Structure 1
Amino acid sequence: MVDLHNGMLFDEKVLTTPDDPSLGVIKGVKKILETNNIHASKLKHIIHGTTLVANAIIQRRGSKVALITSQGFRDIQEIGTESRYDTYDLFMKMPAPLVTRRWRFEVPERIGPDGQVITILDESKVIDVARAIASSDVDAIAVSLLHSYQNPNHERRIREILQHESPDIIVCISSDVMPEIGEYERTSTTICNAYVLPAFTRYLARLTNRFHEMGVNKDLYLMLSDGGTVHESTAAIYPIRLVQSGPAGGVQAAAAINKITDNEDNQGNILCFDMGGTTAKACLVEDGKPMHANEFEVARIFRGKKGSGIPLKIPVIEMIEIGAGGGSIAHLDNLGLIQVGPESAGADPGPACYGLGGQKATVTDADLILGYLAADNFLGGDIQLDIEASKTVVKNTIASPLGLSVVDAAWAIHETVNESMGQAAAIHALEKAKRITDYTMIPIGGAGPVHACNIALKLNLSLLICP
């Protein structure tokens, strides 16, 4: 929270509430207001960043979706672009389609690349499909027709028929969600939007209602994946544009911090290092402006392998996933080597040191054992960490099998994470024809500052700014 009159900044942190994330948001807002003796009615603006959309896709916790597409394009999710992220892997895995084949429907119609109608839409077939969906438990429908970005009339007519047959069902058409060339990416983006929309609108409704109950009389704005903001009414229609909402807000904050820092060495070049509970991401900021892209992949099968995820065609701040997060679980692979992630303990049960029943060693447990975290001052002293629980799980899962002391095992976990993140950040800079040593690191996220110094040393960075 920032005071616009004097520029003072206030912050608080609370644990995530996985069953209902809005409760955690409200708890945090109430806490920061009560701590600083400020009434909710005095708030002028509320901007919310969230990872809810990305997590729903990654964890497959979205709604049941049906797809309506042009005749002959029912299997576009599997066909994709026919590119392979690993040319020689005979057993290459791809993300399972969000819409099963049973719920993909074709309708006779065709629009040419110039927008001219080649085959008129068969409305009787659309009515049959609409009635079949209406009698099912499908929550949302994605409509993506060939070349609809040039002529959306067929998609709009399908939406009218669907809403007539099932007034309560959610319908997303690709010419609204992403009116651009590229049938595979456009279809994928529309499906993902429909997949998360029911859950996201319910979340948004709960959140806004609870804000109003608190006495907040201002509209809610949300952070977009490209670093901009959008009104809650628009976010409720196109939630897929918020897939990188949380990390994008952090990058914007890092760029703002750099502008007010007296620093002549980096000429505005920043390596924004964001390490949260599940993953770590990096973003290069040049001359105070983050790099942007028009494509993004979510739910990758293999970290760092482009093409192994679900493609989205949305404007985003270009961030790459470079490693694990504080809640990522450490384990031994088949060769007896320490690996960290991608599985995460999350907030429930969380790391063993939380005392909520976690039985697996995490990065946070290792950091606590090494003294990077204070057991009696976590979250400003609001949570007491159990260092003995951390020692027990690290001993049982890593130290004893490898014949190491608990401290050495914790250091091995810590170093494994740092080394992989440092290498990934350096490679990302090289791919952009940049030298990583020309950048100043600004760490964000819950675990970012804990690992920032060691990673900066590995990258030979001359300056690190920790807000």
Structure 2
Amino acid sequence: MIGTKQTRLAIDVGGTFTDVFVFDESTKEISITKTSSTPLNPEIGILDGIAKAEIDCENIKVFSHGTTVGTNALIERKLPKTALITSKGFRDVSEIRRGTKLELWDTYDDVAKPYIQRRDRFEVEERTDYSGNVLTEINEEEVRLLARKLKKRGTESIAVCFINSYVNGSNEAKVKQIIQEELPDVYICISSEVLPEIFEHERMSTTIVNAVLGPTVSNYIKTLEGEMNKRGYKDDILVLHSGGGVMTSQTVPRYAARLASSGIAAGAIASKHIAQLCGFNNAIGLDMGGTSTDISLMHEGDLRITKDWYIEYGYPIGFPSIEILTIGAGGGSLAWVDEGGSLRNGPQSAGAVPGPACYSRGGVEPTNSDANIVLGRLGTKLLDGQMELDKEKAIEVVDKIAKKFNYTIEEAANAITRVANANMCDALRLISVRRGYDPRDFALVAFGGAGPLHGAYLAKEMEIPTVIIPPHPGVAAAMGCLLVDVRHDISKTYVKNVKDVSLEDLEKEFVGMEKEAEELLQEEGVSKEASTLMRYIDMRYMGQWRSLAIEVDCPISSLEETLNRFHQEHEREFSFSDKEQSVEIYGLLVTAIGTVPKPEFPTYEPGGTLEDALKETRDVYFEEEGYVNTNVYNRELIPAFSEIQGPAIVDQLDTTTVIPPNFTAKVDKYRNLILSLNK
């Protein structure tokens, strides 16, 4: 049984599998476990994984957790009965949105319905002007009557968002106090506390997401905490949020919307750490799981951060988040033929149930996993033999595609994987080339259960010189949960022309925000010595919609230097800058970091031979070469500093790595596989 007072536990709940990563600080031992996810009750999959890993919960030092509970709740619309209270005349802001669609010219594309329907959106008499002056005070009796009405309707959660409350939230605060008196058991959040920023739609949308997720994630964390307490773990559960940090379970209800992409962020953090261990400060992370692929980008040691993100288009979440591009390409993505006769791949997925046909759980349509087993890239056993795959069933479903195109079974399987690769290459271009980055200057970190199967092919197509496959690719996202710090972001709208801003005024604003940030860290139990505060100014050219966050010193030394950095960043991001154009400050941001000690992963010395790791040989199909008798290696037995010439297959508990012909793989001291195309 694994367990000392030095045990660190990380769990990432995905759509198909729940991944468990355990690190023992005293022995430097790493243990990994995968178990099937249980979407209806995610905590069951977590507890199953802990039991399967034979972890003594009393000996866990840190438990860090990434979850898809918030994401799934929004996508599946399994939400509590939630009401919105807003200013008179603004009831339909969340439904009007910005009047755009994701596919503007697709007349058949319906926009997603609001998270709160019109019948549950209510108006009250109140008004605050643009400068923060309260023109109409709250009518207490009106709010109390509304609260009683909501009680009769069985309302479980309430969002409050008033016009201009980002400047002065006193009316919202009064409503919150009255609601809490009338409905003490109902979850309530107000926009002036959740996201005190200009633009009512973005602020209202974020507050609504916070309200619809609040009860769901609170109950989930409470249930998980109770189960962990029964098993002997009494400390905080650290929950990963979209910004790339963790917060304690006590803070989760306050910022529930930050869990809307909790699990996704873990993979980006892991890819950054792995790339830097290998000496790369520019890297693209590719986390390909069973249902989707999540792509992130690190430039000069920093992951890209965005405030322009959503789970469903039209309903933005305004918290800072690691920029991640997600597409429907995973091991379980379905291959199909559209009405025009073209082969497609995804975004539909076989999911965990029934899964790919080769899982023998009732799947009847071809998937990427079925194609890879037909090609011999996947063996007939997964998870160290715990899961057997049925190649005959895979051939049977892939044959559906072969017959439609008059292909051989191998040509059909290869076509399925090529379409999947093309979809991922489009996404890689979107996050790199479209952002002004040259992929040839980056390394590709390929992980997840399916990433190592496709990584080399993607790198070849994108001319990325290096592919890094971490030691435990299938649970790398779980590992990422152990590599994060406590993080909170405090934002404030501050719209002024740079020429009209004084350093003294800016300093005063930042000091107030930093005080709030420090109080949050103290609530999380972070000591002053472990706390770091970073300042950012959102800047844009006059008349622009978008802004760029520019980091500044504490205290700010020069606005002129900050202005020059804004022009440089604008040139890099958009290939355009204009030093003659007026620039305005749009907002201020303070990021508070509470440093959490990171595990020091083991390094390895050379020992043994590559021949010792040879598991078997099997025929593997490659597009240009056809079938090639290929060596299959057991990754656990491959010595550090080994070199493997492709074609080769590397098997391990959590994934399979394909090293195609004309590729070479080298093993570094951390046992990362580093692939490169032979020149």
TM-score > 0.5, shorter chain as reference: yes
Q: For the residues of structure 2 that align with 1:429 and 1:360, how far apart are their CA atoms?
A: 33
**Per the alignment, do residues 240 and 279 of structure 1 end up closer, same or farther by CA in structure 2, a change over 3 Å counting?**
same
The alignment covers a number of residue pairs equal to: 449
Match of 1:107 among 124, 128, 151: 124
Shift of 1:90: 4.3
Tell me the SS of whatever aligns to 1:324.
Answer: coil
Is contact 1:323-1:417 (8 Å) kept?
no
- 1:140 is aligned, of 138, 157, 160, to 157
Partner of 1:298: 311
2:80 and 2:289 mapped to 1: Cα distance?
26
Q: CA separation of 1:86/1:355 partners in 2, compared to 1, >3 Å: closer, same or farther? A: closer
The one of 122, 145, 165 equivalent to 2:139 is: 122
Distance in 2 between the 1:390 and 1:145 partners? 56
Q: Deviations over 1:316-343 (max 9, x none)?
A: 1111124422222222111121222222
Determine helix, strand or coil for the equivalent of 1:271: strand
Equivalent position amino acid for 1:423 in 2 = D
Asked whether the equivalents of residues 83 and 121 of structure 2 are also in contact (C-alpha less than 8 Å), the reply is yes
Aligned to 1:434: 437
What's the secondary structure of 2:30's corresponding residue? coil
SS at match of 1:250: helix
* 1:106 positional shift: 0.8
Matching of residue 321 in structure 1 with residue 334 in structure 2: no
1:332-371 superposed matches below 5 A: 332-371=337-376
**1:204-240 C-alpha deviation (Å, 9 max, x unpaired):** 1221122122222322101111111110111133221
Cα pair 1:322 1:425 within 8 Å, conserved: no
Q: TM-score, normalised by structure 2?
A: 0.64
The structure 1 residue matched to 2:421, chosen from 418, 421, 438, is: 418
Which of 395, 401, 415 is equivalent to 2:399?
395
| Percent identity (aligned) | 37
Give distance in 2, aligned partners of 1:253 and 1:111.
45
Change (3 A) 1:128 1:340: farther
Counterpart of 2:386 in structure 1 is 382
What is the rounded CA distance, in whole Å, between the counterparts of 2:314 and 2:99 in structure 1?
13
Q: Which amino acid aligns with 1:382?
A: Q
What's 1:47 paired with?
64
Amino acid aligned to 2:256: P
The residue type paired with residue 167 of structure 2 is Q
Take 1:292 and 1:353, find their aligned partners in 2: how far apart are those partners?
39
Give me the whole-angstrom Cα distance separating, in 1, the residues matched to 2:224 and 2:218: 10
Confirm or deny: 8 A CA contact 2:147 2:182 kept in the other structure: yes
Q: Say whether 1:71 aligns with 2:71.
A: no
What one-letter code is carried by the residue in structure 2 that aligns with 1:368?
I
What code does the residue aligned with 2:398 have?
V
Which residue pairs with 2:566 in the alignment?
none
What is the Cα deviation at residue 371 of structure 1? 2.3
Q: 2:238 aligns with which of 221, 231, 241?
A: 221
In structure 2, what is the equivalent of residue 273 of structure 1?
A: 286
- What is the match of residue 447 of structure 1? 450
Letter in 2 for 1:379: L
Equivalent of 2:297 in 268, 271, 284: 284
Could you say which residue in structure 2 is the equivalent of 1:303? none
Task: Report what 1:241 is aligned to.
Answer: 258
1:305 is matched with none
Q: Identify the residue that residue 232 of structure 1 maps to in structure 2.
A: 249
Please list the CA deviations of residues 341-381 of structure 1 after superposition, one character each: whole Å capped at 9, or x if unmatched: 222222122222222222222222222222232221x1222
Q: Which residue of 2 is the match for residue 462 of structure 1?
A: 465
Among 165, 182, 186, the alignment partner of 2:182 is 165
Q: Comparing 78-87 with 359-368, which one deviates more in the overlay?
A: 78-87
Larger radius of gyration: 2
What is the distance in 1 between the residues matched to 2:101 and 2:331? 31
| Equivalent residue number for residue 210 of structure 2 | 193
- Partner residue in 2 for 1:20: 41
* Cα separation, 2, equivalents of 1:67 and 1:189: 12
Q: Which runs of 5+ in 2 are unaligned?
A: 1-21, 471-679
The Cα offsets for residues 28-74 of structure 1, whole Å up to 9 and x where unpaired, read as 22222x2xxx5322211010011221121112222222111111111
- Residue-by-residue CA offset, 1:105-158 (whole Å, 9 max, x unaligned): 111111112221011112232223222211113321111111112222211222
Post-superposition offset of 1:414: 1.0
Which residue matches 2:530? none
Number of the residue aligned with 1:149: 166
Paired residue secondary structure (1:129): helix
- 1:6 Cα deviation after fit: 4.4
Superposition deviation, residue 449 in structure 1:
1.5
| Distance in structure 1 (CA, Å) of the matches to 2:408 and 2:40 | 37
Amino acid at match of 1:435: D
Sort the Cα spacing of 1:405 and 1:65 in 2 relative to 1 into closer, same or farther, 3 A.
farther
Aligned partner of 1:304 in structure 2 is none
The amino acid across from 2:423 in the alignment is: S
Alpha-carbon contact 1:323-1:421 (below 8 Å) kept:
no
Distance 1:349 1:132 in 2: 44
**Distance in structure 2 (CA, Å) of the matches to 1:321 and 1:168:** 36
Residue type of the alignment partner of 1:289: D
Alpha carbons of structure 1 residues 393 and 132: separation in structure 2 relative to 1, 3 Å: farther
TM-score by length of 1: 0.91
2:328–2:348 CA contact under 8 A, matched in 1:
no
Q: Relative to total residues, which structure has the larger strand share, 1 or 2?
A: 2
**Contact 2:327–2:347, Cα closer than 8 Å, also in 1:** no
